[in-house]
Amino acid sequence: MGFAIHLNGRIQKREEGTIMKVSMFDKGLLKKTYTISFSLLTVVSVIISFIDLSWQVKLIMLVGFLLLAIPIHYVLWKKANGLKTIVLKINNSELEIGFGDLFTEGENKVIPFNEYFDTSFEGNLISDESLHGKYLKRLNSTDTLDSEIENIPSEKLVEDNVSRVIGKKKRYRLGTILKRTNYFLLAFSHFDENNMAYLAQNDYVACLLNMWSEIDKIYNQKTVCIPLLGSGITRIKDNTGISDQELLSIMIWSFRISKVKFAYPSKVKIVLYAEKADKINLFKIKENN
């Protein structure tokens, strides 16, 4: 299974403290400017063709409207770099991408756990700053959660790792989801012998596809909010240089090929951390999709 991700037209120019991710000469941006300018020029050309003016005046008017392309292009460029939210139509479903706090988003929320569904912070198994850790800290006790984890259907169990010293023993298939009210706890990352989270690239894709399949069964016609999976402490084992932009592109691609459909008014929302704003080019994502 393969995929290709193309990232073009990115520059690291700063304007007023913000990284300008979209180049002035981005092909998609130039195309938009051309389309708008050509449409205006066509309208003006038709109008002046019916007015009794000298050809010199008509030429000056046409040149003037052509020069409007410059401010039009500038406005489009600023808008492209200032995008905070985009909406894509995929498989007759609405997929929204924006910045925010996953825990304050409405309806269903996906929380990435590890493949053991660990609930103990012992031995630094779980980072306090991860969504996994933040979710557990919201609970008064993990006793009920531990019981629910024990009752995950056996067909989702990969092995009983009795040699594991710290944490739970049962390892579940990546993409397995435990539904708890409006939280979908996701078995997302492998753990190595040192309890370090990692994923191989093919595991990442397989996990996403399995996740979409499980969400399709349980989302109950409500919006599902998902973080940018893989951008935290989890390392993509065979591609250490993968960027957040590429991870986002893969998530969108996996949703597209999953063929899962979210019935209106429900939708999928990928929620990005606000501090990722300088690293993710939403304009390019929208152009590519």
Question: Where are the chain's structural domains?
Answer: 13-81, 85-288
Low-confidence ranges of the chain (pLDDT < 50): 1-18
pLDDT digits (tens, 9 = 90+) for 124-133: 889 999 999 9
| Residue 48, H or E segment | helix 27-48
Task: Count CA atoms within 13 Å of residue 177 on its CB side.
Answer: 25
Residue 24 makes CB contacts below 8 A (sequence gap 6+) with 73, 77
d(Cα 159, Cα 178) in Å, to the nearest integer?
Answer: 17
d(CA 86, CA 241): 26
| Chosen CATH of 85-288 out of 3.40.220.10, 3.40.50.300, 1.10.1520.10, 3.30.450.90 | 3.40.220.10
Q: Of 249, 210, 214, which Cα lies nearest the Cα of 231? A: 249
User: What are 198-251's pLDDT values in tens digits?
Assistant: 888 889 999 999 999 999 999 999 999 999 998 875 666 665 678 899 999 999
The model's pTM: 0.80
Distance CA 11, CA 24 (A): 9
Strand partners, 15: 18
Q: What is the pLDDT of residue 23?
A: 81
The gap from C-alpha 146 to its chain's centroid, in whole angstroms, comes to 30
Residue 150 CA: distances (Å) to CA of 123, 126, 140, 146: 21, 19, 19, 6
pLDDT score recorded for residue 14 = 38
Q: Helices 55-67 and 69-81 sit at what angle, rounded to 10 degrees?
A: 10
